[in-house]
Amino acid sequence: MCVGCSSTDETPAAPTRSWSVAFQWSNTENLDLDSPPISAIRAAAENNLIALGIGRRYTYPGYLEAAGPNATAIAVNALDNTVGPIGTLRLNLLLEQATEQRVDAIVCTDDTDVSQPTDGHFPLARNYASGALWATRVTVEKADAPAPGWTNRIDDVDPETPLLPAMTGPDGRAPRPADNVFGDWRITHYELEYARPSWNACLPWAQQRWGGPTPPAPTRTESEPPVIDPFYPGW
């Protein structure tokens, strides 16, 4: 018998995970990227990717409540990545329809400049359009408008801020918000869209970025991490 010893062993806290991806939004439709519904859509897209990469606990304040059952449908740490991806994720938002109570949009995502570290290497991106460009349908609605069946957050994860490298962006802006940016908007639909019309809607933006029909050849080797470019517009 050990006098003074605890009868139960405490589980050591898991180390804080890192997030080294800058979100860089294009604005081909000249939208107000800081308007409440557009901010909610941007935050939904960014949080989905953070949750997929390092877990829900590292999402922005208010995300789990705003997303409810539409939060990323994976376990809290499904990918078990102690170190998250690195690089710059390019996104663009295409507005489909908007009212005072509801906004529907397509979020276009180009991941050619992002890599998940693996065994000390940084795998290169796919060099074909269908493997680099993604289209996601997102709907946000005012809190008093969501369809029947809406519930609040689906887990009890305690939010935590990930480790961030030094990132640059517009003056006075940050790569992630310190406060809840969802306000009274809720994410009522979030779905990776495999239907061709949505993907095709994103293609002109991607091809303009690529300078052609497919992503350009990488300028780095797998021993070099992708560059973290300035975020835009940030928070």
Query: 24: closest CA among 110, 90, 113?
Result: 90
How many C-alpha atoms does 86 have within 13 Å on its Cβ side? 21
Q: How many CB atoms lie within 10 A of CB 31?
A: 18
In a domain, 91, yes or no: yes
Say if residues 126 and 215 touch (Cβ distance below 8 Å). yes
**Distance between CA atoms of 112 and 89, rounded to whole angstroms?**
8
In a domain, 235, yes or no: no
- Identify the pLDDT of residue 159: 83
**Distance between CA atoms of 74 and 51, rounded to whole angstroms?**
8
- Identify the pLDDT of residue 156: 63
In a domain, 219, yes or no: no
Strand partners, 138: 105, 190
In a domain, 86, yes or no: yes
- Identify the pLDDT of residue 76: 45
How many C-alpha atoms does 186 have within 13 Å on its Cβ side? 16
Report DSSP state, residue 52. Answer: H
Report DSSP state, residue 57. Answer: G
The domain total for the chain is 1
- Identify the pLDDT of residue 75: 43
In a domain, 71, yes or no: yes
In a domain, 84, yes or no: yes
Helix (H) or strand (E) holding 87: strand 83-98
For the chain, list residues with pLDDT below 50: 1-8, 75-78, 147-148
Strand partners, 191: 137
- Identify the pLDDT of residue 2: 45
Q: Which residues contact 109 (CB under 8 A, 6 or more apart)?
A: 45, 49, 89, 90, 91, 133, 134, 135, 136
Say if residues 92 and 26 touch (Cβ distance below 8 Å). yes
Tens digit of each residue's pLDDT (9 = 90 or more) over 103-152: 999 999 999 999 999 999 999 998 899 999 999 999 999 977 554 455 56
**Distance between CA atoms of 217 and 210, rounded to whole angstroms?**
10
Write out the residue range of the structural domain in which residue 203 sits: 18-148+165-210
Say if residues 44 and 65 touch (Cβ distance below 8 Å). no
- Identify the pLDDT of residue 158: 77
Say if residues 119 and 125 touch (Cβ distance below 8 Å). no
In a domain, 7, yes or no: no
In a domain, 134, yes or no: yes
- Identify the pLDDT of residue 146: 52
